[in-house]
Structure formats: C-alpha cells, structure tokens
Structure 1
Amino acid sequence: MNTEPKLTDQHVAAHFEMQLSGYYSGKVLGPNGSSYFYSEDIPSLSWNHSVLADPSNSSHLNFIKDQAACRHRQPAFFVRESELKHVMLALGDKCSVAREQWMICSRDTLLETPILGELEVRFSKEAVPPDDYCYVLENLFEDNKLNDRFRNFYVPTLKRSTLKAGTSVSHAVGYVEGEPVTCGSVYRAGSFAGLYSVGSIASRQNRGYGRQVSLALSQSALNEGAGDIFLQCVIGNHVERLYSSIGYVSVEKPGLISI
C-alpha cells in the first residue's frame, strides 16, 4: 500500500547541507544546534538565513542579527509550517514571512512519461555546471535586468562550486537541434535528493522543456538509488502545477521570516 510523502527534518537538513555544494558559501554554528547559512555573493534572503533557531530566544535572535549584520543582510530564519504561528506571535509586528511550497516525489508517484523526441538531455556530474547550463540560466527572462541578476550573482557562485563530502550532483542540459534550451540539477546526500534550478530560456518557454528535464533528472536520481526527491517552488502558480503533473506531491509550506 502506497503512503503519502511526508517532509521530515531529515529532508530539510539534507537540503541545507546539499546546497553547501551549490548556492551557499558556508554555515556558522549557533546556540543549541542552530546554524546560519550564507552566500557571500547572492544577497537574497533565500540564501542567507538561520535554521533550527528559536527567535523568541534572545541568544538565538542575537545570533541571527549578528550573522546578518556582518554580511550586510537582513536578519532572516527558516521556520517549519507547524511553528510559523508560534514564531510570528512571538515577534509581533517586527516580522514578515515569505511562504514556499515544498513538494516530494517517489518511485510510487513519479510518472513514466517519455521524453520529447526533439529534446536531447545531457548530464554532467562535475561540481561546476557546463557552460551551456550557465547560458540557460543567464537567459531565462525577456527582461535583461532579471537576467543580469543571474549573470552577476547566481552563475558566478555556481562556477566556484566544490562538492562537499557525502554530496553528489547531476546537472542536466536539454538541447533542441544543438541549442541549449533548458537546464536543471539534482543534488544527492545519502538517500535524499533535491531538484534545483530548473528553467528554460525565455524564447523557448511554454513548450514543455522544463517539465521534461525535471522528469529526466527525477527518473535518473531514483534509478541511482534516491529514496525520494524534494523541491521548493512558488505556492499555487504554474510551476507547482507543472511539478504536480509529473508526480510531485505538495507536502508543506514553510516560511522564511525576516525582521
């Protein structure tokens, strides 16, 4: 009998540890098992915040503020959905929250949909993604100001990636007639896998390429021994529906609280 996927503390911990080989530059240990994960180059709060901290505890709150201040970041921390109400009540009007959708697929839920014949998917297991992967990330939007954000922050960070002990990665690029049009990555830590950075260049969107590269990466990770695969996405938009269409199940809506 199949069971519904569930987001565990082990999934959450695996995400943060895996991304020390991706977008995070490092972490600092704080009080009572808390940690602050940070990116030296990416200013987004998504890559600069504390984990397993209780901001209603003064030592935790001071730790978060100190780590954010020395990196010129806004204080922020990741909170599981079950704790959001408690934390926000404790902080009152001092805080705001951005929610995200976590989804999980397993061999039981992932669809066996064939890859589009026109799309050739190539994989790389080096820490640094190939140039064609970076090309896709730098051309995701029609607005060049948004593309510049990836060119100036995200791509340089990935080009300095090194795999931490116990972590592996599979980067994928999808080609149509030799042109790189879509990309994505799966990071692995033990039996856990996380799907990241899926996107297609602006001129080739809405053709199913992102869906297909997500499916190829997910199938590959499961075939290589992952127990399940998780991801994070915007709540309720077309991306969540895309992942649902290939077998990802919504499991939780944690929050990133900033003060």
Structure 2
Amino acid sequence: MIEKTLKTTDGKILVRIPTVLNELTLGQMMAMQEKHYLDDLDAISILSGVPKEELNSVRNFEDFLVFGNYVMALSNQIKYLYDSDLIPSRITFTIGQKKVVVNVIRNLSVEPAGAFLAARDIIADEINEHISLYGEEDWREHFQPSLKACCSVLAHYFFCRVTGKRYDEYEAEDFCEEVKKLRVTEALPIARHFFTSYPNLLKQKIAFSQQFRLYWRKKQVSRRLKNSSI
C-alpha cells in the first residue's frame, strides 16, 4: 500500500491505495470495470475508498501524481491475471468478526444441485454472449468472462460451505457482497477455472422439463392424428 495525506480546501484527507495485485479486492476491480468512463480520480476513489467528492476538494492536482504510476502498474498486471493458473487450495472469508477457511473444490458438481444449475446457467450465458458478439471460431483463446459473472459463480459455489446454510438462490446472490472482499488474485483464477472447464456449455442443454414437454406434445399430436384417421 502507498498512502499520502493531501490538503483539501477545508482540511486534509488520507489516501491509501494498493500497489500490487495481491492487495486489490475483486470488488474494487469490478467497480473499475463497470465504469463506462474511468478517469484518474475515479480510479483513485475506487482503490482508496475515498469518495470522489472529497478528492475533488484537494487543493493541488499534482498531489495525485504519486499514485499515477501505481494505478498504471496495476492496470497492466490485471491484463495477465486472466491467464493465471495458480488456483489457491483454500480461501479465507471474514464474516463479521469471524474468519471462515474453506477448501477450494474444483468440481462444481459436488455442490448442491441448485448451486450447480445456477452456476451452469451463468457460465453458459456468458460464453454464449461472447460467441454472439465475436463468433464461435477460436472463442476460447479470446474469451474473458465479466467480473460480475465471475463474482456470481463464486457466490453460488461458496455460499453453502461458508455460511453453513441450506442453499437458497437469492441468498447466494446476496453473498456476492462477501465474494467481492476476496483478493482478486484468489478469486479470478478460481472463477476462470470454472469458465474454462465447462466448454460444453457453449449451447444450453435442454432441461428435463423441456424434454418432457416436447415428448408430451408429440404424444398429443400422435393421438390427434390417430383419432382423425378413424
């Protein structure tokens, strides 16, 4: 971390930002990705947690220059994080004042069925959206899931084992707020593993209920044809 006290028009503020990826959270990275236009103060605000309104009151803009090189360095490191295969064997969550350590199991199918189905749909939608925009040819080489999708997959994946609760889709989505607190160097490689391990989700499989409805319709059509021929 690098920190500096800056003079403002009505006092002083302490600004502290990460200098290496290991200090950056998934939530901070998501906030930067979701900004349509990210200027210098936006980046410093997200990385430091200091509201942009307060940064706007700093007397001398040159005071921010000390942070510029670190912001650039972080942005360059982030590019290569998607290619990292270094998956942690365990993750520590801090829920309130309690630390919860959970092992990372790489097979989504070992989780509750509801969690697997939710994660499967998120992965499939993300892959299909990429292909609809850029085409199917060599899609694996260029595919990078959105951080929002990564966060959502991890929320469904970790929810039960971290909280000890029965799986609930809505509570799992709310658990994204806890996932955002993870270091991006931990969270992104795990999420990337799931996205790259399920290429068969390129096209959604027909659900059991859909198969049953198709079968039932065929039976009804067959009956009508038989009745009409009598």
**TM-score after normalising by structure 2:** 0.26
Which structure's residues are more often helix, by fraction? 2
**TM-score after normalising by structure 1:** 0.24
Which structure's residues are more often strand, by fraction? 1
